[in-house]
Structure 1
Amino acid sequence: MSSGLAVPASAAPVRDSSPELPFTFNRAGYPIAGDLPEHLRPWRDRPTRWENISPDSATSYLDAEGVVQYRTGFGQPGYDHPVAQIQFGLGCVTSYRTETDASRKALFLLRAEAQARRLIDRRVEVRDAWYFPYPFDYTHSTHSGVDYRAPWYSGMAQGEAISLFIQLAQLAGVGEEQRARYRQAADAAFASLLRGDDGHPWVVHKDAAGYLWIQEYPGDRPGTGDFTYNGMIFAMFGLWDYYTATGSETARALYDGSATTMARYFPLLRNTRWHSYYCQTHRIPAPTYHQHHINLFRQLHHQTGSPDFAHHTDTLTDDFPAPQLSKGSTVAFGAGTHTLCRFDTKADGGWHSGAQDALLETQKVTFERATQAPASMRRRIQDRGIYYLIDAGAYKGWWVGEIWPQSYLMGQYLTTGYHHQRTITFPGGNKDVDVYRFADDGTDASVRTVSFAHPSNAPADRRAIVNGRPMFRITAGALTGYWVPATSVTAASAPALLPPS
């Protein structure tokens, strides 16, 4: 098995030797793109909606101080839940930035500061760092080994707390005294990510292959844990916030090491043509987390500028695309015979574990001329390809496979914009490649056939499913504005390789 390191373009593998770090770890040289536009920065995509400013559900509510409390059901006792409090607070910070009504703006800030105050008030100071305890026992229902007695600690909470404190310190509505307090809290929380697993508590270590991990669920022994992917990436957002606010080279080194880990272990997160895995330890497919993984890897692409994470985003999108279609979505059928299927699914066409998309029946239909049908879902059927669910007409409730040009979804779907453009390469050898312009209704406006004697590069700013095929949009040169099928070109990225066996 190859032991090569996933290296971003124009970067060579280096070993960190900074004396400020607790240990050395593998680093591929991933940079931090600190000049992101506001809407692409961490947590801006997760605002707290105004109607949720005072949560009251079976699992959460606000206490008398306006702090989110976790509970197992109505009438059950409430507990501090650091990640729930932090994410609620960060959502309030995001909404504060965009809110124009003064009274609402003030309440968003009040709520965010209440969460931060609780974290600070109930911190545990140990190992010259601040840790934020979970004050309740917890046993994961499916992940053996995640079995905690209070108090316990999570690297996800530690990293996210950095984001909350840094972002509060950046708000104009925060007074200077509180601003200084939040900076102190951010520094103290950041210190927890510099403490290895040679003491307690710990949330950071390197594995046997030399890769850095921030453990959402640290194990009971040094170097063990759940190796949870989403929790580590959320913690990385705190490193991004801390570096862009302070210029800390240590934070940049930790971010680089963390990004290197995510790139290297991507093959173990991926579950080819299905839901990705939640963690490395248990490798259990996680339907509810797959779309989160897509979004998180997209943000890593934004934050680093590396095509590696854009490639990961595209791969996960193709493995199990977001299934719901907007109203008015249309499937085009070419003239000829088509196979329609019924699968054992939820009532709305969604997957459920008990049925596993079992094939119930098929039928063949023949159309003398091209026709269309409305569809409500485009998703991967378990152990099969991508199918469309027809939701009206004579074939309502039947599925048809995505087979271009016989049957395909008209228009552009699942667009991934590359903030940092990607390089795509046309093949050499004078091989013909068709490129397309599309009308607003998704129909082909023009088609060109191009060929090159030698491989030829072009920049692309986005990828989408266009008329049933993954395509890249070209942004420069004679083909500006044209789309090219992803299967006809290659897109730059360093392949993520497995660690040595």
Structure 2
Amino acid sequence: MIRAGYRLVTDLPEPMRPWRDRPVAWGNVSPTTGTYRVDADGVYLYHPGGGAEGYDHPVGQAQYGLGCLASYRTETDQARRALFLARARAQADRLIGRRLEARGAWWFPYAFDFAHAVHSGVDYSAPWYSGMAQGEVLSLFVQLAQIDGMSTADRDRYLAAADAAFASLQALDDGFPWAVNVDEAGHLWIQEYPGAAPGTGDHTYNGMIFAMFGVWDYHAATGSSAAAALYDACATTIAAHLPRLRNVRWHSFYCGTHRVPAPTYHQHHVNLLRQIHWQTGSPDFADAADRLVDDYPSPAVSGTVAFEAGDHTLYRFDTAASGAWVSGKDDAELGRQTVKFSRDTSAPASMRRRIQGRGIYCRISGGPYAGWWVGESWSAAYLRGVHLPTVYRPGRRVTFPGGGVPVAAFRIADDGTEISAKTVSYDAPSNAPADQRAIVNGRAMYRIAAGGLTGYWVAASAVTADSQPAVG
């Protein structure tokens, strides 16, 4: 299998570690209706269509348990903390109790039949198995073993379970169940949906990356060289397939096999690539996340649109009532008008998003032009403020051009107010570390983290970000 030499960074700050960004809300600690509910033992069960019968769902149970641990770490009420921990342990104990032991590993079965509504060939009769589940269950076992106050016996039990779950990710597609294969190009895959034929699968991106988080957790806890090698191989695969993941200027693809755009997964891909960047320290994945942000930025952004004096074209589009893109709506233009402002002005905006086949537009939400969209174009019309930040850890090195080319730098408040500005130029190309990239007053910009420009933003179009982490 191919490994590019990605190394694991294990000294991450707590908020950057796997699953800390997906806490379970207190109101969902005991769901009793809907698709997912807890039973009398606190086990999270899947109820298809909201029906009465519940089924074991390893990914659902692992994610619910990990979310409960995320909440346990930050909850201050002791009774709530105890319940969050009890819920997490209930999922782990259920998974241990229902495991299948095969080929020297533990496997966690799905207890219901499943056919993917969109992807042909993803069709299973119970019991079936998923590499995504194997990796996420591994995370749950490891993170439980790391909880302060856990008895030695329970810690050892969860670590032994983690060893057995990790063994499943070491077993290639030479038996059943299987979840890991190496493709013809030498790339290793953890298959969320392993195919019936050995070595075949859907090549689903989010499922593989979530499973990688379990490998990261296992290596961080045990120092396992086998886990480090496996993670390196997985990261190498993701990096090599980034061009197939990306769908330029639109939603990224859900998997490498069917390559169907995935509106509901695009922002997951952005977030997951950022986390691989933190876990490896490699700018490859930070840059990939930035490209996806530019292709289809999260529309959950609102604020104030600034208009320069002059003529502006406003549009109406065939979108959902919320303005978000949904299947069946093609963003067709329904109307346009030209308006003229005699001075600089502004209007409230409820959304900023890409319109299919076009650029980035902001939806005006108040005043005489409510419901109309304006194309974002710095500095004619743009959403004020600092939006959609990508945090770099480590920082990325950006290079200013030489030859005396001037580059403007700005210190900007969160609401977009310009605090100060300066222009710099250098005879030879000059490097500086950047700790963030964000959309700042309608432009992609890097925030400089050291030197005379510390805290200043520079337009991404004015500098280049190289392929190595920043030094210092």
1:105-120 equivalence runs, <5 A = 105-120=81-96
Report how far residue 439 of structure 1 moved.
4.2
2:467 to 493, 496, 499: 493
Report how far residue 211 of structure 1 moved.
0.5
Look up the match of 2:224. Answer: 248
SS in 2 for 1:492: strand
Please provide the CA RMSD for this pair. Answer: 1.1
Q: Distance in 2 between matches of 1:105 and 1:389?
A: 42
Q: Distance in 2 between matches of 1:74 and 1:28?
A: 45
2:369 to 391, 395, 400: 395
SS in 2 for 1:484: strand
Look up the match of 1:322. Answer: 298
Look up the match of 1:154. Answer: 130
1:95 to 58, 64, 71: 71
Q: CA deviation digits over 1:253-275, x for unaligned, max 9?
A: 00010011111100100000111
Q: CA deviation digits over 1:369-416, x for unaligned, max 9?
A: 111111010000000000000000010000000011100111111111
SS in 2 for 1:73: helix
SS in 2 for 1:425: strand
SS in 2 for 1:61: strand
Look up the match of 2:102. Answer: 126
Contact 2:386 2:415 in 1 (8 A): no
Q: CA deviation digits over 1:55-104, x for unaligned, max 9?
A: 23321111221101101123331100000000000111111111221111
Q: Distance in 2 between matches of 1:280 and 1:454?
A: 42
Q: Distance in 2 between matches of 1:392 and 1:118?
A: 52
Report how far residue 440 of structure 1 moved.
5.3
Look up the match of 2:38. Answer: 62
Q: Distance in 2 between matches of 1:193 and 1:353?
A: 36
Say which is worse superposed, 174-183 or 231-240, in terms of deviation.
174-183
Q: Distance in 1 between matches of 2:33 and 2:122?
A: 25
Say which is worse superposed, 440-449 or 310-319, in terms of deviation.
440-449
Report how far residue 461 of structure 1 moved.
0.6
Q: Distance in 2 between matches of 1:138 and 1:206?
A: 25
Whether 1:170 and 2:163 are equivalent positions in the alignment is: no
Whether 1:365 and 2:339 are equivalent positions in the alignment is: yes
Report how far residue 346 of structure 1 moved.
0.8
1:327-476 equivalence runs, <5 A = 329-439=303-413, 441-476=415-450
Q: Distance in 2 between matches of 1:237 and 1:422?
A: 23
Deviating above 4 A after TM superposition, structure 1's stretches of 4 or more consecutive aligned residues are none
Say which is worse superposed, 382-391 or 351-360, in terms of deviation.
351-360
Letter in 2 for 1:321: P
Report how far residue 278 of structure 1 moved.
0.4
Report how far residue 128 of structure 1 moved.
0.6
Report how far residue 451 of structure 1 moved.
1.8
Q: CA deviation digits over 1:148-186, x for unaligned, max 9?
A: 011110000001111100100111232221111101100
Structure 2 unaligned runs (5+)?
A: none
Q: Distance in 2 between matches of 1:303 and 1:266?
A: 17
Q: CA deviation digits over 1:308-327, x for unaligned, max 9?
A: 1110111111111111224x
| TM-score in terms of structure 1 length | 0.92
Contact 2:386 2:414 in 1 (8 A): no
SS in 1 for 2:368: coil
SS in 2 for 1:288: coil
Q: Distance in 1 between matches of 2:398 and 2:229?
A: 30
Q: Distance in 1 between matches of 2:430 and 2:142?
A: 44
Q: Distance in 2 between matches of 1:128 and 1:26?
A: 25
Whether 1:41 and 2:20 are equivalent positions in the alignment is: no
How many residue pairs get matched?
A: 468
Letter in 2 for 1:294: V
Look up the match of 1:104. Answer: 80
Whether 1:227 and 2:192 are equivalent positions in the alignment is: no
Q: Distance in 2 between matches of 1:149 and 1:73?
A: 18
Q: CA deviation digits over 1:404-445, x for unaligned, max 9?
A: 110011111111111211100111222222111224542323
2:2 to 5, 15, 26: 26
Report how far residue 446 of structure 1 moved.
2.8
Look up the match of 2:162. Answer: 186
1:197-346 equivalence runs, <5 A = 197-326=173-302, 329-346=303-320
Report how far residue 222 of structure 1 moved.
1.4
For residues 182 and 142 of structure 1, do their structure 2 counterparts lie closer, same or farther at Cα, with a shift above 3 Å needed?
same
SS in 2 for 1:461: strand
| TM-score in terms of structure 2 length | 0.97
| Paired-residue identity, % | 65
Look up the match of 1:9. Answer: none
Say which is worse superposed, 104-113 or 449-458, in terms of deviation.
449-458
For residues 441 and 225 of structure 1, do their structure 2 counterparts lie closer, same or farther at Cα, with a shift above 3 Å needed?
closer
SS in 2 for 1:27: coil
Q: Distance in 1 between matches of 2:74 and 2:421?
A: 42
Q: Distance in 2 between matches of 1:424 and 1:41?
A: 26
Report how far residue 132 of structure 1 moved.
0.3
Q: Distance in 1 between matches of 2:428 and 2:186?
A: 40
Letter in 1 for 2:181: H
Q: CA deviation digits over 1:179-229, x for unaligned, max 9?
A: 111011000000001111111111001110001100000011111100000
Q: CA deviation digits over 1:228-281, x for unaligned, max 9?
A: 000000000011000010000000000010011111100100000111000000
Q: Distance in 1 between matches of 2:80 and 2:419?
A: 47
Q: Distance in 2 between matches of 1:445 and 1:44?
A: 34
SS in 2 for 1:397: coil
Letter in 1 for 2:111: P
Structure 1 unaligned runs (5+)?
A: 1-24, 495-501
